[in-house]
Amino acid sequence: MSDIPHSINMKLDGLLDFALERGIFVHVGYATLSQLRKITGYGDLGTDAERTLNYFKSRDTLSITQTPHQNESQEISKLVNLWKLQQSLFKSNGFKDFIICSYNHINNKPVLEIHPGRTRLCFHNVYNKPIPVLILNYTKHNYLQPPFETELLNKDDVDKWPDQEWRVTPDWDIPMDSERKYLLVQPNDNEQWHWPALENNITFQIYTNGGILTEITANSQPFMEYKNWEWHIVI
């Protein structure tokens, strides 16, 4: 992935050491996307659909083609991200990589921030399998009480969990806390899920009924649908 100043490549055991050296406890477990959505509020596909409709209206068009050569917009980039995840699921590749969370007490409230992993939460109402979760705990207390089972990660158990090469950047912040004491942890292959790794054109088309957006297709194939007053990705 694109280099970020002061970032370091490391595997899971290196990430564990890097965190513990800074007094950050590392917890691991499995959670469903719906559980994480209830806690964090991320994964609102309806908001993405609304932004898509507004962008198409601003362009006065019903279809937009994203090419590998030039980024159309932030709204279309989000659709590309979702589409790439959908295509991966079509190939029977489940969500097997960690969702990375930062946990802290901010203004006397427990806060769980997710990154990367927010886009996967958009599949909360169609993908029900538990997904591995890694929680960086900044509270200085080595226990958690989430609505799913977790355990402290230690060196003896690293091999039991998904591993890949991570790009770790210290002195980061999160939306709810501007103090630069957090770790930004991203997989080194993160860009494969985004527009820069797009190999072929994708044409997104919107469909409305009475002015209400009801469907978005990708290359004329089902992609996002509004049914029973709820948006979902077609998988």
pLDDT 10s digit of each residue in the chain, 235 long?
456 778 999 999 999 999 999 999 999 999 999 999 999 999 999 999 999 999 999 999 999 999 999 999 999 999 999 999 999 999 988 999 999 999 999 999 999 999 999 999 999 999 999 999 999 999 999 989 999 999 999 999 999 999 889 999 999 999 999 999 999 999 987 676 677 778 999 999 999 999 899 999 999 999 999 999 999 999 9
Residues 108 and 188 in one domain: yes
- 30 and 142 assigned to the same domain: yes
- Tell me if 3 is assigned to some domain: no
Q: Kindly state whether residues 36 and 54 are assigned to the same domain.
A: no
Hey, what long-range contacts does 49-57 have (CB within 8 A, 24 or more apart)? 49/213, 49/216, 49/224, 49/226, 49/231, 50/213, 51/75, 51/78, 52/78, 52/79, 52/204, 52/206, 52/213, 52/216, 53/206, 53/208, 53/213, 56/206
Q: Are residues 63 and 179 in the same domain?
A: no
78/109 same-domain check: no
Same domain, 104 and 18: yes
Largest CA distance in the chain: 59
Same domain, 98 and 32: yes
What 3-state class would DSSP assign to 62?
A: coil
Q: Are residues 56 and 78 in the same domain?
A: yes
**Cα separation, 125 vs 130, whole angstroms:** 13
> Domain residues for 227?
46-91+198-233
97 shares its domain with 132 = yes
How many domains does the chain divide into?
Answer: 2
Query: Is 131 buried (19+), middle (13-18) or exposed (0-12) by CB count in 10 A?
Result: buried
Question: Number of helices (H) and strands (E), helices first, in the chain?
Answer: 4, 13
| Phi and psi based region of residue 19 (left: phi greater than 0; alpha: psi -120 to 50; beta: remaining) | alpha
